[in-house]
Amino acid sequence: MTQLKQMSHLDISPPTPGKFKMDKSPYIHRLRGHGSLAKLTFWSFVFLGLILIFFFHSPSPNSLPSDPFRRSLRTYNWGGPAWEKRVRSSAKVRSRHGISVLVTGAAGFVGTHVSAALKRRGDGVLGLDCFNDYYDPSLKRARQALLERSGVFIVEGDINDAPLLSKLFEVVAFTHVMHLAAQAGVRYAMENPGSYVHSNIAGLVNLLEVCKNANPQPAIVWASSSSVYGLNTKVPFSERDRTDQPASLYAATKKAGEEIAHTYNHIYGLSLTGLRFFTVYGPWGRPDMAYFFFTRDILKGKTIPIFEGANHGTVARDFTYIDDIVKGCLASLDTAEKSTGSGGKKKGPAQLRVFNLGNTSPVPVTDLVTILERLLKVKAKRNIMKLPRNGDVQFTHANISSAQRELGYKPTTDLQTGLKKFVRWYLSYYSGGKKASG
């Protein structure tokens, strides 16, 4: 029992601990009918319970958490006729052969761009995001405002919230799910390992459970990562290369996700496509990534750490521009076959795919800094350091021939061009008193 408790605590501890922790009191059964002190305690609990019920129940019509997965979830406002109307209208397909997509992680970097692109073509799009503060939530709010203007509603909630997800599928018969919600970042895993388990494993399983029960089942495209190649030294990385030596907990949870995807495809006939993104960058990007905080720190005159491998080896990344990634995501949705299950049961074999989405030209991080210096017209203060062994790999390089063949994927933006667009966005976004943080 204690073991079970610990396990579930690890599973459900949110990335940023919720304001409230809800515990269903186990005391009530034990204390029933024993002595007056016990009675007093019992009634105090009942009273406290009533207060809690009032507090948690009043802002929203959704039910109280009834399963352990919801215990430590933050409470969000959802439900009600006005809310359902917004959900429906956002997910409404407006073009003839359009699809309706639930985009998780829609307030995130990739999620925002994918949602906007889908909406532009007339697809129905509904976002879902928990707005955690892994990095500056005001940036997520600004992305949300951007999507709001183009008619995309982001429901505020956690992918671990089964009643919420089921409700969404009850309101809208999504044909596709674009699953991008995750705990990203490699180094943060040492600080908060539970958040990776919470979002990348427990959250994924919860989402797939709801998808498998949905009628009709949606086709699912989701974000894995190039980090699954881990300590692999054979380049370029091809989908069939080994991925059993992850170098970080982040990578391990993404690899676990690929195995979980296999299982749900095999047992329930869910159509599943995993995309291994290679270092995505661009406007509205993530402040925890090097190109982003290098820009911030170079402008501030702060020294930036530049890693090098053993024997002064070059650290390089296959930087991929966001617009290219978006095209890969949309092509994956468009080529995804239907799931085959119904009533929670498999009816036949379903599609299972994995693709690298990279740029195929690794650039040394020192070159990245040189490009930024030129664009920002500021000299960087460089501090060359040994690459720490806490998750980052020295080199990434995608073989994209499979995505090219099956998706027509062909990246067209080089680092120079892409960074120019990023810097232009950065300067306009953070001018006017707003400060970069994260």
Instruction: Report the interface residues with ligand NAG, using CB under 6 A.
Output: 236, 238, 399, 401-402
* Alpha-carbon span 326 to 330, nearest angstrom: 6
Which of 94/141 has CB closer to ligand NAD?
Answer: 141
- DSSP conformational letter for 227: G
Contacts of 178 (CB under 8 A, 6+ apart): 101, 102, 103, 104, 111, 114, 118, 221, 222, 329, 333
- Which does residue 277 touch among ligand NAG, ligand NAD, none (CB within 5 to 8 A, set by kind)? ligand NAD
Q: Find which of ligand NAG, ligand NAD, none residue 236 binds, CB within 5 to 8 Å per kind.
A: ligand NAG
Q: Are 190 and 389 in contact (CB under 8 A)?
A: no
Q: How far lies 74's CA from each of 136, 186, 346, in Å?
A: 18, 25, 34
**From residue 349, how far is each of 177, 239, 337 by CA, in Å?**
19, 21, 11
Nearer to ligand NAG, 240 or 312 (CB): 240
Chain position whose Cβ is nearest to ligand NAD: 108
164 binds, among ligand NAD, ligand NAG, none (CB under 5 to 8 A by kind): none
In the list ligand NAD, ligand NAG, none, the entry touching 223 (Cβ below 5 to 8 angstroms by class) is ligand NAD
* Amino acid present at 374: R
CA-based nearest residue to 397, from 248, 241, 223:
241
Least distance (Å) between residue 408 CB and ligand NAG: 15
Would you say 60 or 401 has its CB closer to ligand NAG? 401
Residue number with CB closer to ligand NAD (182 or 316): 182
| Prior bond of 287 cis (ω within 30°) | no
Compute the least distance from the CB of residue 349 to ligand NAD, in Å. Answer: 26
Tell me whether residue 176 or residue 276 sits nearer to ligand NAG (CB atom): 276
The two tokens of residue 352 are 């299972």
In angstroms, give the least distance from the CB of 406 to ligand NAG. Answer: 9
Least CB distance to ligand NAG at residue 352 (A)? 16
How do beta strands 316-317 and 363-364 pair? Answer: antiparallel
Partner whose binding site includes residue 339, from ligand NAG, ligand NAD, none (CB under 5 to 8 Å by kind): none
CB 417 to ligand NAG: min, Å:
25
* Cβ(127)–Cβ(101) below 8 Å: no
Q: Which residues contact 246 (CB under 8 A, 6 or more apart)?
A: 227, 228, 230, 252, 254, 255
Catalytic annotation present for 135: no
Minimum CB distance to ligand NAD, residue 40 (Å): 40
- Give the binding site for ligand NAD (CB under 6 A): 15, 105, 107-111, 129-132, 140, 158-160, 180-184, 199, 203, 223, 225, 277, 279-280, 286
The pairing of strands 219-225 and 176-179 is: parallel
Find the angle CA(153)-CA(154)-CA(156) to the nearest 5 degrees: 140
Those residues with Cβ within 8 angstroms of residue 353's Cβ, 6 or more apart along the chain or in another chain? 272, 273, 274, 332, 406
Write the CB contacts of 217 (distance below 8 Å, at least 6 apart in sequence): 211, 268, 269, 270, 271, 338, 339, 340, 341, 342
Closer of 108 and 418 to ligand NAD (Cβ): 108
CB under 5 to 8 A by kind: which of ligand NAG, ligand NAD, none does 243 bind? none
Of these partners, ligand NAG, ligand NAD, none, which one is at the site of residue 130 (CB under 5 to 8 Å by kind)? ligand NAD
Q: How far is the CB of 425 from ligand NAG (least distance, A)?
A: 33
Is the separation of the CB atoms in 326 and 282 below 8 Å? no
Q: Which CB atom, from 314 or from 401, has the smaller least distance to ligand NAG?
A: 401
**Among ligand NAD, ligand NAG, none, what does residue 218 contact (CB within 5–8 Å per kind)?**
none
Do the strands 303-308 and 352-357 form a parallel or antiparallel pair, or are they unpaired? Answer: unpaired
Q: Which one is catalytic: 250, 268, 291, 321?
A: 250
Q: How many CB atoms lie within 10 A of CB 422?
A: 23
Backbone angles phi, psi at 107, to 5 degrees: -90, 0
Least spacing, CB of residue 288 vs ligand NAD, in Å: 8
Q: Using the minimum distance from each CB to ligand NAG, give the nearer residue, 342 or 401.
A: 401
Which residues are marked as active site? 250
